[in-house]
Amino acid sequence: MSTPQTVTPELRQWIVAQAQAGCQPEAVLQAMLASGWEEDVAVEALENTLRQHLEEHARQNNLPPPSIVPEPDLRDSPGAVWAGDREVKIVATMRNPRVVVFGGLLSEEECDELVALSRPRLVRSETVDNNTGGSEVNAARTSEGMFFQRGENPLCARIEARIAALVNWPLENGEGLQILRYGPGAEYRPHHDYFDPAQPGSATILKRGGQRVGTIVMYLNAPAKGGGTVFPDVFLEVAPVKGNAVFFSYDRPHPMTRTLHGGQPVVEGEKWVATKWLREGRFE
């Protein structure tokens, strides 16, 4: 019978030192495994140490406190999870930032129906105006889009209920689905989805459900080339596969969440996505 491995203060200090030196968590984990650490012990030590390090960094620098965020139930690393009415595959996961790639969140028929319902209502996409809390056309976002009201039609209601079950978050805390179309050359440059509290327009926005704490981007088609979703801080790119989705959460409105992301330019064809933003409280 083997002796349980103990996570020592020295090991935690070493993990923090590796992170401060710029090593990716995956590389630190592999180094621990190569040194003889059991995988479950190594993963728990790595995750807990990095989380505690970030929390201490936040306290020392007077950063915003963390919020509770949406989180799919991925205990025991399942290959698929039940989302109320449909089995959804787990394609890939990342802890820091919290990113999960879902396979088959939408059926092909649901993707096609969302495109058909939204196409007549497309207009030039806008971004939030941080000064007023309104919206404006921005050169960083070169797509066309529209919004469905939450529960506007049976299709939206079904998808919204599925997402709520999948990430364990109240249905009423979600914004309505946004549909975007990117033509050749169109992109959305890297940005954060949370609202910056330092901006004068944020107070107005936050009255409707509080801060954003999670995002789900669903791919409604597969462009011939380009159009991936990138996370520059962690060198991650998610390919736009029809029916799949990428989920990420951010527990505070600060770059430390490493959720900077963007839509790569479409090189050939077009890209359609449906985006769902999740708020702290009920969104009205």
pLDDT in tens, 160-215: 999 999 999 999 999 999 999 999 999 999 999 999 988 888 899 999 999 999 99
What is the 3-state composition of the chain as percent helix, strand, coil, each rounded to the nearest 5?
A: 30, 25, 45
Between 224 and 65, the higher pLDDT residue: 224
- Rounded CA-CA distance 156/53 in Å is 40
51: tokens are 């989380």
pLDDT in the model for residue 3: 73
Residue 97 has what DSSP assignment? T
CB atoms < 10 A from the CB of 230, how many?
Answer: 16
Q: Give residue 26's pLDDT.
A: 82
At 253, the pLDDT band (50, 70, 90 cuts) reads very high
Give every strand in the sheet of 229-231, ordered side by side: 188-191, 261-263, 229-231, 236-238
Q: What is the mean pLDDT of residues 228-238?
A: 97
Please give the pLDDT value at position 57: 72
Q: Quote the pTM value.
A: 0.78
Three-class secondary structure of residue 162 per DSSP: helix
Percent of the chain at pLDDT exceeding 70: 93
- For 14-53, how does the pLDDT look when each residue is reduced to its tens digit (9 = 90+)? 998 998 887 878 889 999 999 999 998 999 999 889 878 8
pLDDT at 62 over 80: no
Residue 240 pLDDT > 60, yes or no? yes
DSSP 28-60: HHHHHHHTT--HHHHHHHHHHHHHHHHHHHHHH
Asked if 278 and 212 count as a contact pair (C-beta separation under 8 A), the reply is yes
- H helices, E strands: number in the chain: 6, 17
Q: Given pLDDT bands bounded at 50, 70 and 90, which one contains residue 130?
A: low
> For position 111, what pLDDT does the model report?
98
d(CA 251, CA 95): 13
- For residue 220, the one-letter residue type is L
